[in-house]
A and B are shown apart, each in its own frame.
Chain A
Amino acid sequence: MLRSALSAIVRSLPASTVEAHCDGPCGVYDPASARVHAEAVLAMTKKLKALEAPASAGDHHAALNTFARFVAVKEDEAQKTKKELLILWTDYFKPEHLATFPDLHDTFWKAAKLCSACKVHIDQGKAEELLAAVEKIHGMFWQSKGRSDAWVTAS
């Protein structure tokens, strides 16, 4: 009884965190993952904008199917971009990096917002802004590692 009461009291007290884990399951981070997905978002946005109305009524369902598939892939790739960015933001970058990159939080926040905008709209400008944001993060990431890896896109 006394032990339970004491445990309950202790559990209710605020406690700072002490970490008993490894620094990461693998410790491997690379903004290239976000870049590939962001490129896919831009590519799918361009494909959607290039779609033409079906020439005949018989092509209607095929056109709808293509449109739906393109939208689904754009949506999926934008979400994957956001996930990869959040991993970099919340797992790789540490408070110490804010001294070097005072706009770190703002950069990631705006990039994540762009991911959402690319899902909501078919907006090539937003998709290009997203890729540019990922390029900026690429630069911050490699600078934090003392490297200056070139920005190379797949497309």
Chain B
Amino acid sequence: MQVEGYSMWPTLKPKDRVIVRPFDPHAAFPAIGIGAIVVCLHPQQPSRQVIKRLHAVEDTQLTILGDCPDASTDSRQWGRVPKECLVGEVVALVTTASEQDR
């Protein structure tokens, strides 16, 4: 997946590409560790996918935050996100903008 925006800066920058391991809905929950970068459906606009860092898990609810709060809309505005929104976990950063710009 290709990143757009700066809410995960400086970890992720626009045009970075990430490899995402899809979340197994049948796996024991939480199957993803706190601190992982995750892809979720936007809780209010499910046609959009957002990338944030998993900050906390309470029951079946996730708190997800951007690494750059000034450029991020996240659980601070949405509140906790239901686990059904979870798409997957970022397992690798494949390219960076700086590499692409060379």
Contact = CB atoms under 8 A, between A and B. Distances in A.
Given A7-B94, A94-B45, A95-B47, A21 B1 contact: no
A16 B18 CA distance: 10
A6 B96 CA distance: 12
Contact of B95 (A10, A22, A95): A10
Interface of A: 4, 6-7, 10-11, 15-23, 94-96
Nearest to A6: B94
Interface string B9-37: 10010100110100000000000000000
B71 A21 contact: yes
Contacts of B18: 18
B45 A18 contact: no
B86 interface: no
Contacts of B1: 15-18
